[in-house]
Structure 1
Amino acid sequence: MSTSRKDFLVVAAIDFGTAYSGYAFSSIQEFKSEPLKISANTWIGGSLMSQKTSTCVLFDKDKTFNFKKFGFDAEDAYADFAMDDNHKDYYYYRRFKMELFNKLMLAMDVFSACIKFLKDDCIGKIRLQLPEIRDTDIRWVLTVPAIWNVSKQFMRESAAKAGIPNESLLIALEPEAASLCCRHSPMTSLKGGTIDITVHEVMPGGGFKV
């Protein structure tokens, strides 16, 4: 397994959250010169503009389980269908991520479809800035809660089904990713909601001790 590759040109991270999801990316060159220069999408839902969209997904209710929409678009479409009493022809999942941890196993098709949507949308935004970028030039990071254990493999398999090869994927614990970000952020800019704690000791040579 070649997860130690050093020649990725872009790092793209997908935050597949319980309530909201999104992605961000940065080129290696930008990171070297300005670590906090990170690009993210702006999602629009009604009058709301946000760097994350709701973790909702809509599928056709048929044998092929066709993906229709994700995020705010899924919410709006399902609401329109419900107003016309046509919603019974669709599957609508909302805030389902933690059901995986609770052992109420939703189909891998649901998770992989959501990851694929976020991946494809992210690649589109990357290529607006870097038109020549290849899929193999992108290091993908998928964050998972610290409480997950066996479920990490489930997410890795979901990512593979979404078209992210294992050699390009890094599974990162959410608090550890936040800890690394904090190394570059001034304390006055730090804010958040739910908190997980990870303490890292920076070792000589730049390594970490948890």
Structure 2
Amino acid sequence: MDHYSLVCAMHFGNTSSGIAYSLKREYCDDPMRITVPDWNAPSSVQISYKTPTTILLDSERKFVAFGYEAESKYAEFAEDEEHDEYFLCRRFKMLLNNTMRREEHGLQMTAKIADITEKKEMLAIDIFSLSIKYFRDLMVYTVDKKGIGVKTTDIRWVLTVPAMWSDPAKQFMTEAAERAGIPRANLVLALESEAASIYCSRLLVTSTELDETDDIFGDGKKYLIIAAKGEVVVFTVHEVTKDHHLKELAKASSGDCGGTCVDNDYKNTLTEILGEDFLEEFRLKYTGEYIELFQDFEMKKRTPLSENQTMITMRIPGMLSGFYEERKNQKLKEAFKNSTYNKSTRFEGDKVRITPALMKCFFASACVGIVDHVRDLLLEKLKHHKIDTIIMVGGFSESPILQAHIRSEFPDHRVVVPKEARLAVLRGAVLFGHNPSIISERMAKGSHGIASF
């Protein structure tokens, strides 16, 4: 599609998703003038430029809501005990990743994803097509409401995909987009790690991060990008070419050491304190409250710890305390007091308080996994390339605990975290949509031989 007036990028992350866009004429004047709409998030989240990767469908599997609205509506239905017929699917991209790993011959169009109750399934292609259609319709509505004056046929759509995904998986997303009403001629697929790299290379890094005279994106510069997101962390190495394009130096690699590792360790701690049977019953009976249980923790993951901070406070859904007392015949406060975590946790009123040391423990496995992978790349596989800069992007990269760990483990490397690192992929995808040729070289995933001598 050579003739276009606007680029709209869609990014479906493991935990959160969003869209961003810019007009072609705006790009020509200022490439970094990219609009990222905000979402009507809960008061605890404040302003959010992404919304949970959650879709809600009715009994006939027709679209009801997406993101925060989907979780809120499902919680309301659950309170009125009207939720059984609904289909709520959270973090479905992560579920798709797990499905791909199980499939012997790669991702199939017949692959299915389970809902939050794990009792109902639906074709993954339908879930993604409905989600893409929601974002497509939202963009078309925005164009009309703001009077931007762009025809739908003049929109170039960019859909991000992980660099590790196979060709069949990319074809899967293309098919989902076509079912959502996006013509193939108007669609561009962007690799998430490349999009993040494009954004960072175009970003004017503030002097608080770099010396004003230093240029880490100059000709011949090489850097490692850590795209730390929900479940998977992707590692990519790029070099800036003489024509200011980007060249991939090594095939993208990944590790299961993303933010969900932290979530899982937090969940495991609650499971030890409350009991696996109780937490599972609470999840099924009060699904909305169960989701809320982890929302505040998600915010605390990205909150810096002060030097004199003694405890971290997180809200607990009101229904949890009464339900625990009903099922266990014991006060929730006593459960925390009698657990092995009684010195690092306590329950007060409607809040759980944990020590900073315990919070750091939740990050341990993720930090070790990321550091091991980076060390293998920089000090072993790519040691002759003399890479001295590490760029961190993705929502998990905004965690001060993770940033501090990377800096302490690699003191000889410059670690750069751009502002709003969670939006680097989304904004970079818009830039890629305007100039797909900016990536000049990629490493082949494999090679095929037809003869040997």
Structure of greater relative contact order (alpha carbons < 8 Å, 6+ residues apart) = 1
Q: Select 1:57's aligned residue among 55, 58, 61.
A: 55
Let me know the Cα RMSD of the aligned residues.
Answer: 2.1
2:123 is the counterpart of 1:125: no
Aligned equivalent of 1:112: 129
Residues of 1 paired with 2:181 and 2:150: CA distance?
16
Whether contact under 8 Å (2:228, 2:234) holds in the other structure is: no
Bigger Rg, structure 1 or 2: 2
3-state DSSP class of the match of 1:46? coil
Aligned equivalent of 2:177: 159
Q: Select 1:41's aligned residue among 30, 37, 50.
A: 37
Whether contact under 8 Å (2:143, 2:149) holds in the other structure is: no
Amino acid at match of 2:132: I
Q: Select 1:68's aligned residue among 47, 64, 68.
A: 64
TM-fit CA distance, 1:193: 4.5
3-state DSSP class of the match of 1:49? coil
The structure whose residues are more often strand, as a share, is: 1
2:18 is the counterpart of 1:22: yes
Whether contact under 8 Å (2:14, 2:91) holds in the other structure is: yes
2:85 is the counterpart of 1:89: yes
Whether contact under 8 Å (1:25, 1:126) holds in the other structure is: no
Amino acid at match of 2:185: E
The structure whose residues are more often helix, as a share, is: 2
TM-fit CA distance, 1:165: 0.7
Gaps of 5+ in 1: none
Whether contact under 8 Å (2:129, 2:179) holds in the other structure is: yes
Whether contact under 8 Å (1:21, 1:52) holds in the other structure is: yes
TM-score by length of structure 1 reads: 0.89
Residues of 2 paired with 1:159 and 1:134: CA distance?
18
TM-fit CA distance, 1:175: 0.5
2:234 is the counterpart of 1:196: yes
3-state DSSP class of the match of 2:157? strand
1:167-182 alignment to 2 at 5 Å? 167-182=185-200
Gaps of 5+ in 2: 101-110, 113-122, 210-225, 249-453
TM-score by length of structure 2 reads: 0.43
Aligned equivalent of 1:140: 157
Q: Percent of pairs identical after alignment? A: 40
Closer/same/farther in 2, CA of residues 42 and 157 from structure 1, 3 Å limit = same
Whether contact under 8 Å (1:142, 1:169) holds in the other structure is: yes
Higher mean displacement: 97-106 or 76-85: 97-106
2:95 is the counterpart of 1:77: no
Amino acid at match of 1:152: K
CA deviation profile, 1:3-57 (whole Å, cap 9, x unmatched): xx32211110001111111100001111111111111211012213211111111
4+ residue segments displaced more than 6 Å: 189-192
Residues of 2 paired with 1:113 and 1:124: CA distance?
16
Residues of 1 paired with 2:58 and 2:247: CA distance?
47
TM-fit CA distance, 1:98: 2.0
Higher mean displacement: 16-25 or 189-198: 189-198
Residues of 2 paired with 1:18 and 1:44: CA distance?
20
Whether contact under 8 Å (2:238, 2:246) holds in the other structure is: yes
Amino acid at match of 1:170: V
CA deviation profile, 1:73-109 (whole Å, cap 9, x unmatched): 1000000010111100211101111222222633111
Count of residues paired in the alignment: 204
